[in-house]
Amino acid sequence: MNPRRRIKLPREKRKKYRKSASLYYAVYCIKIANSLLLKNKKAAFQQVKGAWNMSRNLITSFWVIRFYLMHLFRYKQLENKLHYREREKMQPKISS
């Protein structure tokens, strides 16, 4: 048997696996967009738009709505401010 020979899946399974893979990758793209939100907003919104075009279903719409709500409420900015305040409290004060 030739090791380079490709095994083809039946059409039903191909469609099923392609659909689940595109859903998984779309959600992954939206999660990456969340991390991009502070650094490059334009790229983050492009990432979400591409994810929505890749897989339009209930799960993806949940993640897209979550992304936009995080953007509207400026969640990342608030999270960073709280993180830095906690870090400042943890550092020992140097007295002269």
Determine, yes or no, domain membership for 35: yes
Determine, yes or no, domain membership for 44: yes
Q: How many residues does the chain have?
A: 96
**How far apart, in Å, do the first and last CA atoms of the chain sit?**
79
Confidence of residue 7 (pLDDT cuts 50, 70, 90): confident
Which structural domain range is residue 74 located in? Answer: 15-90
Determine, yes or no, domain membership for 63: yes
**Mean pLDDT across the stretch 32-56?**
92
* Short-list 81, 89, 52, CA closest to 44: 52
Determine, yes or no, domain membership for 5: no
- Examine the pLDDT at 52 and tell me if it is beyond 70: yes
Q: Domain total for the chain? A: 1
Determine, yes or no, domain membership for 20: yes
- Evaluate whether 34 touches 1 at the Cβ level (below 8 Å): no
pLDDT for residue 2: 62
Determine, yes or no, domain membership for 2: no
